[in-house]
Amino acid sequence: MEIQLNDEKCAVCGVGFDLVDAIDGHEIIKACFNCAEKSKFPIIQRPTQEQINRANRFYGVRDRLMVNRPDLKQIAVRKETPEDKELKRVIAESAKLQKYEELIDNFHWSIQQGRRMKKLSQKQLAEMIAEPEAVVNMAEQGKLPEDYNRIISKLEQFLKVKLKKQEDKPANEEAEQNQEQSEGEFDIRKANFFKVTTGYLKSLKEKMVGKQEAKEEKREEQEKMLEDEKLAESGEIKG
């Protein structure tokens, strides 16, 4: 293998091959790879020519697109306006970190998780629900403005997450519903499977069977009455 020498030399041992750029204290020096490794000098990685060419191609295409689309260029360099800053300030002042009794614990985590599941940034989510980005940012910190019910409803609907606590029904209302369900037919679409027990299903089945038997008895009774009427009519005709 032929070793190519150059005019530069290793600052440590003086060899003129296998040189790299390394950092010694506050300056960049030339050192052979062996000395740089032994002295534990941080080695500066130079980009290859292929990497340079690839970067030039990428930025060349992007610049051409920017020329044809000045609106994209304007968006890319757009800075925060005084109006944006004022809006953030107003939202920050109205938003408060407090205990929201009607919301689930750590509701802000659910908002953040729901947004990430949809692979959206805070800005994208804000655009989707037609709210300022600062509102979404504050909500994910657990801070909500006074009229937060509207925002919470939007987030629940769009992210498909539950943020409000389930309201407990009054005992008498639940008892009435249970009575209606026990007296009527079992509706699987409305059934609460956390409350339906095996005993309840068994008793419901017995009631349904009893109703069916009662219907059969009533039908047989009606048929017998019709037969008796026919016999009575035929007897009158014969008489």
| Residue 84 Cα to chain centre, angstroms | 26
Checking if the pLDDT of 167 tops 60, the result is yes
Q: What is the pLDDT of residues 176-224, one digit of tens each?
A: 555 545 554 555 555 555 555 666 666 766 777 777 777 788 888 888 8
- The answer on pLDDT for 148 being more than 70 is yes
pLDDT at residue 4 in the model: 47
Q: How confident is the model at residue 230 (pLDDT cuts 50, 70, 90)?
A: confident
Residue at 120 is within a domain = yes
Residue range of the domain that includes 196 = 171-225
Write the single-letter amino acid at 62. Answer: R
Q: According to the model, what pLDDT value does residue 60 have?
A: 61
Tell me, yes or no, whether 155 and 116 share the same domain.
yes
Looking at 113, 132, 159, the residue that finishes a domain is 159
Q: Would residue 235 count as lying in a domain?
A: no
Q: Is pLDDT above 50 for 25?
A: yes
Do 151 and 104 share a structural domain? yes
Whether 86 maps to a domain, the answer reads: no
What is the structure's pLDDT at 2?
A: 44
User: Are residue 177 and residue 217 in the same domain, yes or no?
Assistant: yes
Which residue bears the tokens 């089945």? 205
| Residue 107: Cβ within 10 Å count | 23
Q: What is the rounded CA–CA span in Å between residue 61 and residue 75?
A: 17
Residues 196 and 216 both lie in one domain: yes
pTM for this structure? 0.37
